[in-house]
Structure 1
Amino acid sequence: LPKIAAGAWLAQSGEHVTLDHGVLSIDFATRKIAKLLKPQKVIEQNGDSFTIHTHSTLKNYLVTFKVGEEFDEDNKGLDNRKCKSLVTWDNDRLTCVQKGEKKKRGWTHWIEGDELHLVLATFCSFI
């Protein structure tokens, strides 16, 4: 079982935040605020179970899941949607695919050196 570094991580900047309005359907004001935030992310791992706390001046968010098991996720206050989420390991990365009212959303977390990376994504199929 791969292991992601549990602990507290502080965002250094939002300079690479590119939440394009057409892609993720996130309103203009929320996108602008997201670029300014420097949230703290606290990750707890117990085997294949995870709890991720995200703390910011705008919103606190908590998600708990077990890798490989679909769960109900409520993103109220983020992009205000409910979805079915499934988190799996992709080598040393945690990848979440979300299904619901906004199609094919998700995220990927991984550690590189002493930095925690997060990519928000839309998953497209060109086949």
Structure 2
Amino acid sequence: PADFRGTWNLLSNDNFEGYMLALGIDFATYKIAQLLKSQKVTEQNGDSFIIHTHSSLKNHLVKFKVGEEFDEDNKGLGNRKCKSLVTWNNDRLTCVQKGEKKNRGWTHWLEGDKLHLEMFCEGQLCKQAFQRA
């Protein structure tokens, strides 16, 4: 599998507003969040991952093992609990989240020294790119 370990700084953030609205994030919060430059720190040990997302507004931590469903508490990201399952799709990590929102999840993959993230929810797609720090 791909090696996602490292620290990644946000480069681009396309359709973040549409994605946040689909999650039900309030206007003031998503307007502030839109201005932030987040950083991801990814720890990986085989199929076990810890992903820290840091910003000046909120921090988010998710721990998972590929192939094992887990309860995810999305504090600051819609404040909804969901069941999440991450699987390998070739060298991409793909997550399906089951909960209040339909068709929700994300995909991570690497291209050179860039980390890509696509987040989707109820027909909205946000594309982010991160540069290795």
TM-score of the pair, normalised by structure 2: 0.82
Question: 1:4–1:110: 8 Å Cα contact kept in structure 2?
Answer: no
Shift in Å, 1:103:
2.4
Residues matched between the structures, number? 122
Quick check: 46-55 or 107-116, which moved more?
A: 107-116
Q: Deviations over 1:40-73 (max 9, x none)?
A: 1001110110000011001111100000000000
Q: Segments of 4+ in structure 1 off by > 4 A?
A: none
Higher RCO (CA-CA < 8 Å; seq separation 6+): 2
Q: Counterpart in 2 of 1:59?
A: 58
Shift in Å, 1:12:
2.0
Shift in Å, 1:108:
1.0
Structure 1 residues 28-47: aligned runs within 5 Å: 28-47=27-46
Question: 1:13–1:38: 8 Å Cα contact kept in structure 2?
Answer: no
RMSD after superposition = 1.8
Gaps of 5+ in 2: 124-133
Question: 2:22–2:122: 8 Å Cα contact kept in structure 1?
Answer: no
Q: Counterpart in 2 of 1:72?
A: 71
Question: 2:48–2:66: 8 Å Cα contact kept in structure 1?
Answer: yes
Percent identity between the aligned chains? Answer: 70
Greater percentage in strand: 2
Q: Counterpart in 1 of 2:82?
A: 83
Output the CA distance in 1 between the equivalents of 2:54 and 2:62.
12
Q: Counterpart in 2 of 1:19?
A: 17
Gaps of 5+ in 1: none
Quick check: 73-82 or 30-39, which moved more?
A: 30-39
Q: Counterpart in 1 of 2:7?
A: 8
Output the CA distance in 1 between the equivalents of 2:33 and 2:108.
17
